[in-house]
Chains A and B, each alone.
Chain A
Amino acid sequence: MKSSDQRQSCSVGVSPLSVHLITPRLLLSFSLLLVLVSQAQSSGHSQRQQVLLINSYRQGMTWVADIERAVRDELLSEQHRVVLQVENMDAKRHFSPAYLDSLARHFAEKYRARSFDLILATDNQAYDFLLANRDTLFPQVPVVFSGVNDFRDEQLADQTGITGVAEIFDARGTLELALDLFPNTREVYIINDHLKTGRAWEREIKRQLAGIDRPVKITYSDNLSLEEQQQRIAQLPADALVLLGVYFSGRDSHQATYEQIGEMLALASPVPVFCLLEFNIGTPVIGGNVISGYQQGQMMGRLGKRILQGEPADSLPVVKQGANRFIFDFNALERWQIAPASLPSNALVIHQPWSLYQAYRTQIWLAALFVLILLVIITLLIFNIRSRIAVEARLRENKQRFEGIFNQTFQFIGLLSPEGRLLDANRSALQSSGADLDSIRGMHFSDTPWFAHSEDEQRKIREAIVSAAQGEFVRFETTHRVANGRLVDMDFSLKPVFDERGEVSLLIPEGRDISELSSALAALEKSRDRLEMLVADQKFVLDNINDFIYRHDLNGEFLYVSPSVKGITGFDPKEWAGNYADTLTPSPLNQSVKAYTDEAIRTGIAHEPYEIEIWHKSGRPVCLEISERPYRQSGEIVGMVGVARDVTDRVAAEKAVRDLNQFQQTIIESAEVWLVVCDAQGNIAIWNKTAERISGYSREEVQSRRHMLTLLYPDPTYRDEVTAMVMPAVAGNQPLENFHTRIICRDGTMRSMVWNTRTLNKSGGHPGSITIGLDVTERELAAHEARQLRNYLRNVVDSLPSVLVAVDQQCRIVQLNNAAKGVIAAESDTVLGQPLEMVFSQFAGDMASIRTAIATGEPSTTPKRIRTTPAGEIHEDISIYPLAGEISGAVIRVDDVTERMRIEALMIQSEKMLSVGGLAAGMAHEINNPLAGIMQNTQVMKNRLDVALEVNGKTAADCQISLDGLQEYLNRRGIHQMLDNISRSGRRAARIVENMLSFSRKSSVDYYPQDLAQLVDATIELASNDFDLKKKYDFRKIQIKREYAADMPRVACENGQIQQVILNLLKNGAQAMSLSDPEATPPCFTLRLSRNDGMAQIDVQDNGPGMKPDVLKRVFEPFFTTKQVGVGTGLGLSVSYFIVTENHKGSMKVRSAPGQGACFSVQLPIDRQAK
């Protein structure tokens, strides 16, 4: 801008000096300048070039204004035939994709018929917009951009014909200069907003400052509101300074212009503020190496100019450097006392107070030079004065003659010096101006009252004088102010008068009043212009509107179609010509068209606008909205004129909306949920089919929300509860979600519902409510049944005696039954999810087989595993059942089989006994006979040695021996003792055989109902008299307690066998009690008879020393005895057990512990049928 300003001011300054008095050398130099200027002016193209400038922001921004000013200065200043069209996207405020799309459509529409030679884009949004839409909107048109942040070459990889100026701010240079100016700075606070641009700036600033080697702390602003930001800045310490990046809006979205906000922030600062953008520079902001809008625009303009002059855009590289400039505010420099000398040499200081010398230094020096030259000229002139005085006398004579004619003429006549000073004017001229000759004589002709009203006229006069002074006859039209202030058009001429040397000595201005002619011509000119303008406007409108206008005659032949028909139908106006029915589609819509037109022609009354469908040239249907009316010529209808508008998109959109509405309606009606919409007054607006189906009430029946609640909740108390829940949601306080109620349907059934209620469209419009309900009756029923089933199964599982533990795939406990809880003595809650082996340590050894079972799906069983517990050994069957299906894992079942094992063992024993019995039966006869021989013979022998037997004495006498002597002999030799031994041994053998015989089943033994009390008493009696017993234990010293239940029934049994059993028990008991100290524990039997579940029980309890567990386990085993050899056979209890269990189908048990005596229990079935 600066250089061109200078040139213009020079050319203006030269013209008054270009008189012939100036020396030829000077004249030559100025003429050269003039030539240069005129060449520059004439170098423009003859054709007008179309340039489109797209600004990202809005016109009001300084940044935008600066860029645009620069562009205008660059492209328009030199009378290029350039037409500049400007578009502002205003993308700081509107940036939605929809907006950008619509903008693109807008441009497409707007510039459909206009082609550009160049497109300029400022800032990123315009740049991005163009990159995205350039191919469709402005194909092949070269593009120059400016102000683009984050520019990278690869962004243009697939673009051609585009170049520009990247906006690369210089935070580093600015900060380094600031730190040089304020060397004591210790903190730098950098401000950016947190919008997209601000964040990008902050990243770039950080990158630029990454390597800075200064002892300062750099802080970046947080996302603060404007006020907070101001407070933050105000609190900065004295050794801080501020670097202002880009700031458009704080966190509170406070928006103003960039420069306003920058100023607001900077004003809050107690410390110096530097900036990176030119427009921020002002009194509170010092400046920096800034991005200057003007500079950006200028560089963009220059690139554009080169493209317009024919250089290909691709040959011009993107300018990435040099778009910044050190600019500072004069007042700010003063405030912070910064000497201009300390600024970089190319720095620009703005807002300086205006100084004449500063502004016009060159001009002033030039003026001084001219003064010097003039002095020289004057000196030369002095020499001519004398000769002139002589000539003057001669002239004065001629003048008087001349004045007579001069003053009488009606025209304007004057006399001027060649330099244009008024020397004289005739009377007509003076009269018209009302001026006095003396007051105006010597004035430059252009400054005289005739021309003082217009600078243009004055300029014209000056130029004419210059031309005339060179000897030209100049004629031109001018306006001329006369005495009453009226302007008069004059046909004016300047005639040079040559002296004898052929040089111009005088100029004669001459004028004639042509006002009337002139004003008529002007009016004509004006009306022609207006007409042209109107025609142009109309043409523009017709070319560009979305409608086309047509006129056809009564036969339907088109007389006129506006050019915009092409855009809409694809046909140009020539192609379109023909009957209007030609392009109609067979759509039923069109059948009425002819009728409309015919009616309008017949009645002369225009129809309402209507729609028709025609074929586009491409073959697709186009929908037009037709507004037409008949037109008349000389009062008669001669055809139709109409406007057709392309409404294809609108019709399609309307159809889409209709479809959508129908779709929504279908969804609402067919939704499987109960849907109710109420308006603000509580009237039912929507009551869908599901609502009707579930409730049984139609929409007409429910009427309103209140009535609906009354129908659905007949119980007033419950209804009030529900209403209290629903109404706040309806009022919009808070949505009601998953609200559970029970409604009563029309048929009286109760159904469970879950509701969601919220207000509709709370912000405006109808504040109605929507309620969605789901019928969960079946679901609840199913859930209830599932719960019951679960509880039932739970009870089943819990009631099982087996330990059941379910585990998941990772062998963590999922479920366990009561028996299992009993094992670990814990609540299930605490062990769920725990690893199995942690809770049930006994499974530690089974983990591998559990995992295998889960993996293979094969169940496995470990039978009769022995586990040792403090209470003794336990036998367990462990079964692992893998679970298939959705929940995999396994169930582990543990059965305590200790008791079963024991019973099995006893059964084996019984079998053993039976086989013993069978064996004994077979051989008893064979053994009994020899035994009988032994025993009988022994007894006979003893008998025959008995002194008491008479026959013995007689036989002894016969043999002449003394029986007494024999006795003595036998005693001494122990023969008697031996005989006793023989008979005792025989008896013992006999008893063994007898006992063994007991193991055989005695099927033919008779069972008769017996009174057990009698039976027991008889057995006690028997025991008391038992010979063996009496010998060893005094049974009468044993206390006997009888505890007989009163209602004992008779029990079918074999009398002798049961007696044998009880006797055996009494013998054993007496024997055991004899081992205790009789003083400390007087021996005592307790005999009990009781009835127990169909069994009669006989208890024989002693208070002897009791039995150890290992003894207890084996008491019923055959041949097991704790007695000395020869004292017991080891068969007594096993025989008893056999008699009771095998023969009587009863059971026999023993309870005992060391020191606690022993209690044998015999149970006999009561209702066993006697045989």
Chain B
Amino acid sequence: MSERRRILVIDDEISIRESLCAFLEDYDYLVDSAESAEEALEMLQHERFDLAIVDMRLPGESGDVFIIKAARLVENLRFLIHTGSVEFHLNDALKQQGITAEHVYLKPLNDLTVLVEGVRKLLDEKQ
């Protein structure tokens, strides 16, 4: 592992955000987190991230709007969607970003290793 990958977790629920960050850190990723889309975009303008794990229902701008903006802002940023919304559908804009059903994880995940595996796989593709 030449360089530690950076992951941005965006979730307004602190227990989810913190536990996810902790879990990913244990798998040797550099993890930062944001409570909202606006905060996350601010961070993206100053720092480099390889992957964002995005909740859909966020205060302020929603997750999908964030993904569109973030993708414009940061080239080659990868996205995983982690949502508790049952009505969530991949819209065409998200699909254009290369996001497919396998990149969508529904809360609550029985086993976070599934998500970690998804992260690893996505980052591997990037390389």
How far is B114's CA from A987's CA once the two chains are assembled, in angstroms? 15
**B112 neighbours in A (Cβ, 8 Å):** 936, 939-940, 943
Could you tell me if A940 and B57 are in contact, using CB atoms closer than 8 angstroms?
A: no
Interface stretch, picked from B33-41, B42-50, B66-74, B103-111, is B103-111
Taking a contact as CB atoms under 8 Å apart, the answer to whether B22 and A934 are in contact is no
Interface residues of B in 50-108 (CB under 8 A from A): 57, 84-87, 89, 106-108
Number of chain A interface residues as a range:
20 to 34
Known A-B contacts A929-B16, A1004-B89; A936 and B109 likewise in contact (beta carbons under 8 Å): yes
Contacts of A937 in B (CB 8 A): 15, 18-19
- On chain B, the number of residues with a Cβ less than 8 Å from chain A's Cβ atoms is 22
Q: Which of B13, B23, B84, B86 contacts A940 (CB 8 A)?
A: B23
The one of A932, A986, A990 that contacts B16, using a Cβ cutoff of 8 Å: A932
Q: How far is the CA of A987 from the CA of B23 in the complex (A)?
A: 18
Q: Which residue of A936, A944, A951 is within 8 Å of B108 (Cβ)?
A: A936
* B20 on the A face (CB < 8 A): yes
Give the distance in Å from the alpha carbon of A924 to the alpha carbon of B86 in the complex: 7
A920 neighbours in B (Cβ, 8 Å): 86
Interface string of A926-948 (1 = CB under 8 A from B): 00111111111101100110000
Is there a chain A Cβ closer than 8 Å to B124's Cβ? no
Bound Cα distance A931, B13 (Å): 11
Is A1020 close to B, CB under 8 A? no
Instruction: Indicate whether A932 sits within 8 Å of B107 (C-beta atoms), given known contacts A925-B85, A937-B15.
Output: yes
What 1/0 flags go to A607-620 for Cβ under 8 Å of B? 00000000000000
Q: Which residues of B contact A1000 (CB under 8 A)?
A: 86
In the docked arrangement, what's the CA distance between A921 and B13, Å? 19
Pick from A925, A930, A940, A997: contact of B26, CB below 8 A: A940
Q: Decide if B23 touches A935 in the complex (CB within 8 Å).
A: no
Q: For residue B89, which residues in chain A have a CB less than 8 angstroms away from its CB?
A: 1004
The residue on A at minimum CB distance from B87 is A921
Give chain A nearest CB distance to B35 CB in angstroms: 14
Q: Across the interface, which residues of A come within 8 angstroms of B57, CB to CB?
A: 925
Q: Report if A949 contacts B (CB, 8 A).
A: yes
Chain A residues with Cβ below 8 Å from B22 are: 940, 944
Contacts of B108 in A (CB 8 A): 928, 931-936, 986, 990
* Assembly CA distance A990 to B84 (angstroms): 11
A932 touches B26 (CB 8 A): no
A474 to chain B, nearest CB (A): 180
Whether the pair A929, B84 counts as a contact (CB closer than 8 A) is: yes
Q: For the complex, what is the distance from the CA of A936 to the CA of B109, rounded to whole Å?
A: 7
Residues A936 and B84 in contact in the complex (CB < 8 Å), given A929-B16, A990-B110: no
Q: How far is the CB of B104 from chain A (nearest CB, A)?
A: 14
B84 partner residues in chain A, CB cutoff 8 A? 924-925, 928-929, 932
Identity of the chain B residue whose Cβ is nearest the Cβ of A946 in the assembled complex: B26
A943: B residues at CB distance < 8 A: 23, 26, 112
Total contacts A to B, CB within 8 angstroms? 74
A657 to B82, CA, bound (A): 125
A951-B19 Cα distance, complex, nearest whole Å? 16
Cα separation A929 to B89 with both chains bound (whole Å): 18
Report if A936-B16 is in contact (Cβ < 8 Å); known contacts: A929-B107, A931-B107, A990-B108.
yes
In this complex, what residue of B is CB-closest to A920?
B86
The answer to whether B107 and A987 have CB atoms under 8 Å apart is: no
Contacts of A986 in B (CB 8 A): 108
Assess whether B15 is in contact with A933, with CB atoms less than 8 Å apart: yes
- B residues in contact with A934, CB < 8 Å: 15, 108
Instruction: Check A933–B16 contact: CB distance below 8 A.
Output: yes
How far, in whole Å, are A937 and B22 apart by their CA atoms in the complex? 9
Partner of B107, one of A928, A939, A949: A928
Is the Cβ of B26 less than 8 Å from the Cβ of A951? yes
With a 10 A CB-CB cut-off, give which of B16, B20, B106, B111 has the most chain A CB atoms. Answer: B16
Interface centre among A931, A943, A1004 (most CB of B within 10 A): A943
Residue in chain B with minimal CB distance to A935: B108
Minimal beta-carbon separation of A109 from chain B (angstroms): 130
**Residue of A931, A932, A987, A1004 contacting most chain B CB atoms (<10 Å):** A932
State whether B19 touches A933 (Cβ < 8 A): yes
The chain A residue sitting closest to B13, CB to CB, is: A929
Q: How far is the CA of A158 from the CA of B37 in the complex (A)?
A: 141
B26, B85, B106 interface centre (most CB from chain A within 10 Å): B26
Cβ contacts under 8 Å, A944 to chain B: 22, 26
For the complex, what is the distance from the CA of A943 to the CA of B111, rounded to whole Å? Answer: 11
Residue from B15, B57, B107 with most neighbouring chain A CB atoms (10 Å): B107
Complex Cα gap A462–B57 (Å): 186
| CA of A997 to CA of B107, assembled, Å | 13
* Chain A, Cβ-Cβ closest to B105: A932
A932 contacts which chain B residues (CB < 8 A)? 13, 15-16, 84, 107-109
Identify the interface centre among A920, A928, A1000: most chain B CB within 10 Å of its CB: A928
**A383 CB, min distance to chain B CBs, angstroms:** 196
A918 CB to nearest chain B CB (Å): 11
Contact B20 A936 (CB under 8 A): yes
B110 near A987 with CB under 8 A, answer yes
Chain A window 1104-1139, contacts with chain B (Cβ cutoff 8 Å), 1 for yes, 0 for no = 000000000000000000000000000000000000
What is the bound-complex CA distance between A925 and B62, given in angstroms? 15
Q: Which of A873-928 contact B (CB under 8 A)?
A: 920-921, 924-925, 928
**Whole-angstrom CA separation of A1004 from B108 in the bound complex:** 23
Let me know if A949 and B26 touch, CB within 8 A: yes
Q: Closest residue of chain A to B110, judged by CB?
A: A987
Complex contacts, A935 vs chain B, CB 8 Å:
108-110
A932, B18: Cα distance in complex, Å: 12
A944 to B86 alpha-carbon distance, docked (Å) = 31
| Cβ contact within 8 Å between B15 and A936 | yes
Q: How far is the CA of A951 from the CA of B26 in the complex (A)?
A: 7
* Interfacial chain B residues near A924, Cβ < 8 Å: 84, 86
Contact B16 A997 (CB under 8 A): no
Q: What residues of A have a CB within 8 angstroms of the CB of B86 in the complex? A: 920-921, 924-925, 928, 997, 1000
Q: Which one of B84, B86, B110 has the greatest number of beta carbons of chain A within 10 Å?
A: B86
Per the bound structure, the CA–CA distance linking A810 and B105 in Å amounts to 77
Complex interface: chain A residues within 8 A of B110 (CB) = 935, 983, 987, 990
Q: For the complex, what is the distance from the CA of A944 to the CA of B21, rounded to whole Å?
A: 13
Chain A residues with Cβ below 8 Å from B109 are: 932, 935-936
Is A939 a contact partner of B15 (Cβ separation < 8 A)? no
Q: Once bound together, how far apart are the Cα atoms of A930 and B13, in whole Å? A: 8
- A-B residue pairs, 4 tightest by C-beta: A933-B15, A928-B84, A932-B108, A932-B107
**Can you report 26 residue pairs joining A to B where beta carbons are below 8 Å apart?**
A920-B86, A921-B87, A924-B84, A928-B107, A929-B16, A929-B84, A930-B13, A930-B15, A931-B107, A932-B84, A932-B109, A933-B13, A933-B15, A933-B16, A934-B108, A935-B110, A937-B18, A937-B19, A939-B112, A940-B22, A940-B23, A940-B26, A943-B23, A943-B112, A986-B108, A987-B110
The interface of chain A, by Cβ under 8 A from chain B, is: 920-921, 924-925, 928-937, 939-940, 943-944, 949, 951, 983, 986-987, 990, 997, 1000, 1004
Q: Beyond A933-B15, A936-B16, A940-B22, list 17 extra A-B contacts (CB 8 Å).
A: A920-B86, A925-B84, A925-B85, A925-B86, A928-B108, A931-B108, A932-B107, A933-B16, A933-B108, A936-B19, A936-B112, A939-B112, A940-B23, A940-B26, A943-B23, A944-B26, A990-B108
